Amino acid sequence: MPSATVITGLRVETLVPLEINLSGKLALVTAASRGIGFGVARVLARAGADLVINARDPEALRRAREAIREETGRHVEVAPGDLTRREDLERIAAVAREVGGPHIFFFSTGGPRPGRFLDLGMEDWDYAYRLLLYPAVYLTRELLPAMIERRWGRIIYLASLAIKEPMPNLALSNVVRIGIAGLVRTLAREVGSYGVTVNGILPGIIHTSRVEELARDIQAREGVSYEEALSRLSSGIPAGRLGRPEEVGYLVAFLASDYASYINGAMIPVDGGRQVSVF
Instruction: Enumerate binding residues for ligand NAD (CB under 6 A).
Output: 31-37, 55-57, 82-84, 108-111, 131, 158, 160, 173, 203, 205-206, 208-211
Query: Is the CB of 149 or the CB of 228 nearer to ligand NAD?
Result: 228
The length of the chain is 279
Query: Is the CB of 47 or the CB of 64 nearer to ligand NAD?
Result: 64
Query: Is the CB of 111 or the CB of 179 nearer to ligand NAD?
Result: 111
Nearest distance from residue 194's CB to ligand NAD, in Å?
28
SS3 246: helix
DSSP for 33-68, written as a single string = SSHHHHHHHHHHHHTT-EEEE--S-HHHHHHHHHHH
| Interior/surface letters 260-276, b for 16+ CB within 10 angstroms, e for the rest | beeebbebebbbbebee
Query: Is the CB of 84 or the CB of 196 nearer to ligand NAD?
Result: 84
Residues 169 and 232 sit within 8 Å (Cβ to Cβ): no
- Residue 250 and residue 125: Cα distance in Å, rounded? 32
Query: Is the CB of 34 or the CB of 46 nearer to ligand NAD?
Result: 34
Q: Pinpoint the alpha helices (H) of the chain.
A: 35-46, 58-72, 86-98, 122-132, 134-150, 171-176, 178-191, 209-222, 226-234, 245-256
Nearest distance from residue 10's CB to ligand NAD, in Å?
47
- Residue 71 and residue 51: Cα distance in Å, rounded? 13
Query: Is the CB of 209 or the CB of 261 nearer to ligand NAD?
Result: 209
Query: Is the CB of 159 or the CB of 196 nearer to ligand NAD?
Result: 159
Measure the CA angle with vertex 39, ends 177 and 126; round to 5°.
25
Residue 84 CA, distance from chain mean position: 17
Q: Which of 218, 136, 126 is nearest to 172 (CA)?
A: 126
